[in-house]
Structure 1
Amino acid sequence: MLNSPPLSRLSSSFVNALQAARDAAAGQNYLPGALYVVATPIGNLADITLRALHLLQLADVVACEDTRHTQALLRAYGIDKTPAQLLAVHQHNEAQAVQTVLERLQQGQRVAYVSDAGTPAISDPGARLVAGVREAGLCVVPLPGASSVITLLSAAGVLADSSGHSGFVFAGFLPAKATERSAAVLALSAESRAVVLLEAPHRIEALASALAVLGERPLTVGRELTKQFEEIATLPASQFPGWLSADANRTRGEFALVLHPAAATASAGPDTRVLQLLLAELPLKTAVKLAAEITGEPRNALYELALTLKAG
Structure 2
Amino acid sequence: MGDNFGSLYLVATPIGNLEDITLRARRILTEVPIIACEDTRHTGLLLSRLEIDRAGRRLIAYHDLNEQKQAPILIGLLLQGQDCALVSDAGTPGISDPGYRVVKAARDAGIPVVPIPGPCAAVAALSVSGLPTDRFSFMGFVAPKSAKRLRQFQVLEPDRGTYVFYVPARNLVQVLDELSQVQPNCSVFIARELTKMFEEFISGTPAECKATLGDRVVKGEVTLLINPK
Whether TM-score is above 0.5 comes out as yes
Q: Does 1:243 align with 2:203?
A: no
- 2:76 match: secondary structure: helix
Q: Corresponding residue for 1:129?
A: 102
- 2:85 match: secondary structure: strand
Q: Corresponding residue for 1:252?
A: 219
Kept after mapping to 1: 8 A contact 2:141/2:165: yes
The letter of the residue matching 2:176 is A
The letter of the residue matching 1:90 is H
Q: Corresponding residue for 1:197?
A: 165
State which of 5, 23, 27 in structure 2 corresponds to 1:54: 27
TM-score, normalised via structure 1 length: 0.69
State which of 21, 32, 36 in structure 1 corresponds to 2:9: 36
In structure 2, distance between residues paired with 1:191 and 1:228: 35
In structure 1, distance between residues paired with 2:178 and 2:109: 43
Q: For each residue in 1:64-87, what CA deviation from the matched residue of structure 2 results, as whole angstroms up to 9, or x when unmatched?
A: 011010000110001122496000
Q: Corresponding residue for 2:146?
A: 178
Q: Corresponding residue for 1:73?
A: 46
Kept after mapping to 2: 8 A contact 1:212/1:240: no
Structure of greater relative contact order (alpha carbons < 8 Å, 6+ residues apart)? 2
Kept after mapping to 2: 8 A contact 1:212/1:241: no
Q: Corresponding residue for 2:193?
A: 224
Shift of 1:203: 1.9
In structure 2, distance between residues paired with 1:187 and 1:43: 33
Kept after mapping to 2: 8 A contact 1:212/1:237: yes
Kept after mapping to 2: 8 A contact 1:216/1:238: no
**Greater displacement, 121-130 / 139-148:** 121-130
In structure 2, distance between residues paired with 1:227 and 1:44: 6
Q: For each residue in 1:159-216, what CA deviation from the matched residue of structure 2 results, as whole angstroms up to 9, or x when unmatched?
A: 37xxxxx310111112111111111010115553110111111222221221222222
Q: Corresponding residue for 1:101?
A: 74
In structure 1, distance between residues paired with 2:41 and 2:61: 9
In structure 1, distance between residues paired with 2:179 and 2:56: 44
Structure 1 runs (4+) greater than 6 angstroms displaced: none
Q: Corresponding residue for 1:215?
A: 184
Q: For each residue in 1:94-148, what CA deviation from the matched residue of structure 2 results, as whole angstroms up to 9, or x when unmatched?
A: 1110111011111211100000000010111111111111111111000000000
The letter of the residue matching 2:29 is L
Q: Structure 2 matches for 1:123-162, cutoff 5 A?
A: 123-159=96-132
In structure 1, distance between residues paired with 2:115 and 2:109: 17
In structure 2, distance between residues paired with 1:182 and 1:72: 39
**Greater strand share, 1 or 2?**
2
- 1:227 match: secondary structure: coil
The letter of the residue matching 2:83 is R
TM-score, normalised via structure 2 length: 0.92
Shift of 1:32: 6.0
Shift of 1:261: 4.5
- 1:188 match: secondary structure: coil
In structure 2, distance between residues paired with 1:129 and 1:191: 34
**Greater helix share, 1 or 2?**
1
Shift of 1:231: 0.4
- Superposed CA RMSD in Å reads 1.8
Kept after mapping to 1: 8 A contact 2:24/2:116: yes
* Structure label with greater radius of gyration: 1
The letter of the residue matching 1:178 is S
Q: Which runs of 5+ in 1 are unaligned?
A: 1-30, 161-165, 263-312
Kept after mapping to 2: 8 A contact 1:218/1:259: yes
- 1:52 match: secondary structure: helix
